[in-house]
Amino acid sequence: MSDTSSQTSTGLFPSLAATFGMAGTVGGALAFEHLGGYIPCALCLLQRDPYYYSLPLGILAVLSVVLKLPAWTTRVLLLVIGIAMLIGAGIGVYHAGVEWHFWEGPATCATSAQGVSSNVGDLLGDLDSKHGPSCTDAALRVLGLSFAGWNVIASLILAAIALRGAAKVRR
């Protein structure tokens, strides 16, 4: 076995690629929110959950390779990451369908977003009266895809990396 194939078979590349890919994807979503001013709807926030749960698993997968833990450890971690990313893709498909009005969204999605009051006395009242934007309206479309659509693509790519890595890990 060559050095290159030996390095690939350890699971380091898929573990690193999945972990950095997840960090970049959710980091991009957070940047659009906090730097770009895009307020996420309830489904947008829900789409982030698989990333939040899987990022620590990705770090553990990298550590399992570096610390030379049994191969099954890396395999299981990559498998769980792959499944989580497939769930994320499913949530993204659902959200994109809501945006395209293929089906109804959840009742928790509000119809409008308003800014938070600058009056300190009204801040507690704002918590009860302010709601996120509607899940039915895409905040931005790039090449015809909303954030939900791009999340589907990112989730499927990350799932493929993790699942293929899980299938190939051996030591």
3-state secondary structure at position 145: strand
Q: How many structural domains is the chain composed of? A: 1
User: How would you classify residue 140: left for phi > 0, otherwise alpha for psi between -120 and 50, otherwise beta?
Assistant: beta
The per-residue pLDDT for 7 is: 39
The per-residue pLDDT for 56 is: 95
DSSP state at residue 121: G
Contact 163, 16 (CB under 8 A): no
Rounded Cα gap, residues 2 and 109, in angstroms: 53
Q: Which two tokens stand for residue 86?
A: 């497939």
Q: Within a 13 Å sphere around the CA of 151, how many CA atoms are in the beta-carbon half?
A: 32
Q: For the chain (length 171 residues), average pLDDT per consecutive 10?
A: 45 90 90 80 86 94 90 92 95 87 74 54 58 65 77 94 87 59
Q: Tokens 């620590």 label which residue?
A: 56
The per-residue pLDDT for 102 is: 81
pTM higher than 0.75: yes
The per-residue pLDDT for 99 is: 82
The per-residue pLDDT for 59 is: 94
Rounded Cα gap, residues 79 and 93, in angstroms: 21
Domain around 90: 3-168
Question: Helix axis angle, 71-99 relative to 147-168, nearest 10°?
Answer: 160
